Amino acid sequence: MKYLVMVQGTQADYDAMRGKASADSPAWSEEELQTMFAYMGAINDDLSESGEFIDGQGLAEPAQTRHVTLGDDGKAVITDGPYSETKELLAGYWVLECESLERVTEIADRVARCPQPAGAPDYPVVIRPIMDGSGDI
């Protein structure tokens, strides 16, 4: 079974990783940032070695996001980020092929333990099975 494993974040979190603290997110030091990257890199390496890793990427900050919706006239309405009305957005993901939901849950538990500065917000790691065709609905 294939699964999408997602981590969330906000613009304030991305700013904090660049050293700019806010009421919601303390500033990260360079050492904390490198520790986080090493931790996530080790997860990627382990998943590659086990054959479970299909793809995984970190995503650009919410300020670089664009929403496209349809207006009442049926034409595209384009809005560039960041969006004050939105809390968390997708910050990164893995596409994994695992033998069971229990296995992918073990991986998500490991992701959730990623080191971060004291006081940084905790977000859930979200697991979604990837459907294999329309017959899965």
User: Model pTM?
Assistant: 0.88
Q: Is the pLDDT of residue 137 over 70?
A: no
Read off the pLDDT of residues 2-59 as tens digits, 9 standing for 90 and up.
999 999 999 999 999 999 999 989 999 999 999 999 999 999 999 999 999 999 999 9
- CB count within 10 Å of CB 48 equals 12
The region, left, alpha or beta by phi > 0 then psi within -120 to 50, assigned to residue 74 is: left
In this prediction, residue 67 has a pLDDT band, given cuts at 50, 70 and 90, of confident
Region 61-67: mean pLDDT is 89
Question: What value does the mean pLDDT of the chain take?
Answer: 93
What span, in angstroms and rounded, lies between the C-alpha atoms of 38 and 33? 9
Percent of the chain clearing pLDDT 70 (strictly above): 93
